[in-house]
Amino acid sequence: DTAVSQTPKYLVTQMGNDKSIKCEQNLGHDTMYWYKQDSKKFLKIMFSYNNKELIINETVPNRFSPKSPDKAHLNLHINSLELGDSAVYFCASSQGFLLKRVVELFFGEGSRLTVL
Amino acid sequence: AQKITQTQPGMFVQEKEAVTLDCTYDTSDPSYGLFWYKQPSSGEMIFLIYQGSYDQQNATEGRYSLNFQKARKSANLVISASQLGDSAMYFCAMRGKSGGGADGLTFGKGTHLIIQP
């Protein structure tokens, strides 16, 4: 059973289209994230979300919006796709903090978006 | 703000040799965690090892160990007896406790490690 799963794994689309990437976690975690990995492999956080709070990285265009139907899902919707949106998008989840330990994030396999 | 610096964009190492991947960090958070992730060519992000800022001992996980020097703000990853399957991108990351979990991980730019036979 995959702990954090994303669909689709590959997505090729035209500029101007709207697309969504779905993410589900079965770990019972309370916080989910979206990361963008650019062509130089740099990973940058886009959003974090738990059932109380959505935190948006201020550099993320408002064409990107997270949607969470429930605690186990955090989907990423992108409007009016641009060439520069081509990247690998990773969903991740974690369970806050365990006593003294700062816990790791568990990542999905990534969704490679190509905008033509 | 948190910052992670990985100064080695790429490394070539002979199989069976030990490898040290450098990582320095900067944070104002008094409590934080440091992480290393491996990303093979298949693309998934694999968690390797964790070091807490208040941990007295350096973390170890099998062939991976973390050389944590708090005063120098460094958290280098050491891979002993490297194998061909260790060829991958390696990312150092950190997470502060003050963010309450919502701040996720801040990543370095990564080191591309290639193990040569």
- Strands A64-70, A73-78: pairing is antiparallel
Decide if A48 and B31 are in contact by the 8 Å CB cutoff. no
CB-CB neighbors (< 8 A) of B43 in chain A: 88, 109-110, 112
Task: For B15-74, write each residue's pLDDT tens digit.
Answer: 999 999 999 999 988 888 999 999 999 999 999 999 999 888 999 999 999 999 999 999
pLDDT (0 to 100) of residue A103: 77
pLDDT band at A97 (very low <50, low <70, confident <90, very high): low
Give the pair of three-digit tokens for residue B89.
Answer: 């991108």
pLDDT band at A96 (very low <50, low <70, confident <90, very high): low
Q: Are B34 and B51 in contact (CB under 8 A)?
A: yes
pLDDT (0 to 100) of residue A1: 67
pLDDT (0 to 100) of residue B28: 87
pLDDT (0 to 100) of residue B14: 97
Does A71 contact B at CB distance below 8 Å? no
Tell me how close the Cα of A99 comes to any Cα of chain B, in angstroms. Answer: 11
Interface probe, candidates A43, A51, A74, A95, chain B, greatest B C-beta count within 10 A: A43
More confident residue, A66 or A102: A66
A–B CB contacts, 8 A cutoff, strictly below: 73
User: What's the rounded Cα separation, in Å, for the pair A51 and B26?
Assistant: 30
Give Cβ neighbours of residue B13 (< 8 Å, ≥ 6 apart). B19, B82, B113, B114, B115, B116
